């Protein structure tokens, strides 16, 4: 299927003008319409300026004036009659989209009609068209000229021909095209829901403050933490999306909005656009201090016993040996300087004793794993960033001190947080992976498209499912089961697909389970 030679865009705001820019860059004659007087001309000029900037930077081949000349202003909707594809980028109001799709299906009955909506079901939009089979979703990410991803969404009635036209157009625009079935948030926005929601839950429970949560997430390779991201997008925008997800799902516990978001909106603290959200934004001043460097590593001393079968245990053994520790998997009669337990012991094996201990808080909180004991707790994921430490009232000072010293000797900063399964990063990522597994298991998208979408659309340092493979699916399920046991909430139930892969394919990876590379 070849891309349409004439593409129409309805709506000349930021997204509409960006989509029109991509269409012109793809070689198509592009018609931009907006009912607001002067808006289409302004949007076309904005798109031409974007084209000129890309050409000047060497990121787009060709003559800027020639490419820009493909972009024309349409005076009326009727001017779009010759289009093979029309992309709607109007405000997110269903009644407005119904009016547009009803009119467009009469004006251009042979055209594929695509909505750039990020929140309204495509099936609901399509019912206003004369032929719902010609309606699809074509969801670009903001800013469209820079984000190299587009979702093609199949509504209940969308034909294969219409979907193929949309895919061909997205590919001609140089985007990575991923497929999604219709549903709340489609694929990428759905899979990313827990990134902010679980962070809000952590803050609500005072597991850590917002600065610490954001710092831990940044250290894992994200460009910004969840609270910084909420401020950038707009807390009110995120809250409305949360309410939409919850309503469309008829009360799915994983998508329950946070009362903290409601409180911030009620206070008018909406983020960067109001100068105050989770952080305060003053001109010329940073909203947060810079992340401190890793500590100067202290000298390694003595024997460290590192037990466990999870990949994090192997990584810690390697790092500890590089730091100069003597490393073993059991003490073999020698008194260790520190015991690091990474996961549950083998059945019937006695617990390691005789030295300060630090336990991986994955399958449960430290309080549950070491009832009445003196151990400290930690959690970290591969690749190691900030190591999170926790303690209970019974934790011995020597265990806490040696845990700090050990991870510093490995060259990693540590922070203290309150006790919970998975602590901060583990809990957020486990919920993200779980949502991805729900989406794949429900046929919303493929594992490969999930990972590509989360990297290209949400700037993840790596695809969450590939990341889960590297961490170990057992590790992810341990955290989810620990949270379910701790809270007794359906919010933390493990996706059936994730449970099935872990139970029946002990050494298999998530992507391999689905026949993907």
**Which sequence positions are flagged as catalytic?**
118, 139, 151, 189
**Strands 29-33 vs 376-379: parallel, antiparallel or unpaired:** unpaired
Q: How far is CA 263 from the centre of its chain?
A: 24
Rounded Cα gap, residues 194 and 462, in angstroms:
16
Q: What angle do CA 401, 406, 407 make, to 5 degrees?
A: 105
Q: What backbone torsions phi and psi does residue 289 show, to the nearest 5 degrees? A: -70, 155
- Is the preceding omega at residue 189 within 30 degrees of 0, hence cis? no
Rounded Cα gap, residues 118 and 110, in angstroms:
25
Rounded Cα gap, residues 312 and 331, in angstroms:
19
Is residue 184 a contact partner of residue 244, using CB atoms and an 8 Å limit?
Answer: yes
Tokens matching residue 56: 């000047």
Count the neighbouring beta carbons within 10 Å of the beta carbon of residue 237. 15
Which helix (H) or strand (E) segment is 179 a member of? strand 176-181
Q: Count the alpha carbons within 13 Å of 452 in the hemisphere toward its beta carbon.
A: 18
Rounded Cα gap, residues 199 and 219, in angstroms:
15
Look-up: residue for tokens 């850590």? 208
Tokens matching residue 142: 């903001």
DSSP code of 419? Answer: -
312: nearest Cα among 437, 454, 426: 426
SS3 string, 71-132, reads EEECCCHHHHCCCCEEEECCCCCHHHHHHHHHHHHHHCCCCEEEECCCCCCHHHHHCCCCCH
Rounded Cα gap, residues 78 and 108, in angstroms:
8
SS3 string, 262-292, reads HHHHHCCCCEHHHCECCCECCCCCCCCCCCC
Tokens matching residue 319: 């790092």
Would you report the helix, strand and coil content of the chain in percent, each value rounded to 5?
Answer: 45, 15, 40
**Strands 303-307 vs 176-181: parallel, antiparallel or unpaired:** unpaired
Rounded Cα gap, residues 187 and 448, in angstroms:
12
Is residue 425 a contact partner of residue 387, using CB atoms and an 8 Å limit?
Answer: no
């Amino acid at each position: 299927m070849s891309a349409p030679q004439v593409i129409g865009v309805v709506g000349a705001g930021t997204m509409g003008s960006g989509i029109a820019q991509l269409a012109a860059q793809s070689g198509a004659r592009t018609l931009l319409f907006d009912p607001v007087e002067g808006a289409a001309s302004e949007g076309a000029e904005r798109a031409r300026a974007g084209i000129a900037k890309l050409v000047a930077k060497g990121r787009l081949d060709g003559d800027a004036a020639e490419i820009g000349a493909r972009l024309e202003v349409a005076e009326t909707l009727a001017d779009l009659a010759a289009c093979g594809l029309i992309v709607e980028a109007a405000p997110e109001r269903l009644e407005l989209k119904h009016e547009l799709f009803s009119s467009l299906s009469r004006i251009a009955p042979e055209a594929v009609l695509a909505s750039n909506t990020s929140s309204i079901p495509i099936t609901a939009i399509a019912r206003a068209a004369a032929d719902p089979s010609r309606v699809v979703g074509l969801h670009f990410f903001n800013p469209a000229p820079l984000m190299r991803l587009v979702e093609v969404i199949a509504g209940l009635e969308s034909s294969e021909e219409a979907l193929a036209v949309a895919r061909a157009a997205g590919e001609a625009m140089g985007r990575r095209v991923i497929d999604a079935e219709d549903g709340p948030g489609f694929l990428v926005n759905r899979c990313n829901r827990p990134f902010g929601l679980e962070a809000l839950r952590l803050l609500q429970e005072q597991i850590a403050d917002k600065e610490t949560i954001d710092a831990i997430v940044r250290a894992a390779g994200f460009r910004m933490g969840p609270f910084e991201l909420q401020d950038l997008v707009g807390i009110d925008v995120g809250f409305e999306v949360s309410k939409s997800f919850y309503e469309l799902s008829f009360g799915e516990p994983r998508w329950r909005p946070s009362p903290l978001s409601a409180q911030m909106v009620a206070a008018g603290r909406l983020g960067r656009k109001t100068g105050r959200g989770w952080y305060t934004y003053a001109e010329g001043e940073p909203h947060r201090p810079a992340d401190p460097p890793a500590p100067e590593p202290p000298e390694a001393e003595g024997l460290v016993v590192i037990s466990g079968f999870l990949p994090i245990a192997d990584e810690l053994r390697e790092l500890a040996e590089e730091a100069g520790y003597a490393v073993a998997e059991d003490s073999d009669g020698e008194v260790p300087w520190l015991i690091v337990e990474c996961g549950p012991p083998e059945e019937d094996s006695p617990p390691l004793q005789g030295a300060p201990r630090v336990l991986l808080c994955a399958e449960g909180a430290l309080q549950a794993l070491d009832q009445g004991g003196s151990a400290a707790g930690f959690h970290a994921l591969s690749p190691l960033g900030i190591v999170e430490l926790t303690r209970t009232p019974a934790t011995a000072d020597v265990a806490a001190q040696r845990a700090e010293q050990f991870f510093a000797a490995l060259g990693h900063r540590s922070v203290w947080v309150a006790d919970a399964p998975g602590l901060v990063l583990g809990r957020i990522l486990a919920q993200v992976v779980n949502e991805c597994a729900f989406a794949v298991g429900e046929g919303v998208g493929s594992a490969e498209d999930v990972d590509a979408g989360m990297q290209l659309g949400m700037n993840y340092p790596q695809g969450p499912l590939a990341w889960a493979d590297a961490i170990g699916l057992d590790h992810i399920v341990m955290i989810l089961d620990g949270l379910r046991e701790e809270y007794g909430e359906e919010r933390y139930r493990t996706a059936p697909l994730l449970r099935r892969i872990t139970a029946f394919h002990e050494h298999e990876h998530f992507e391999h389970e689905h026949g993907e590379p």
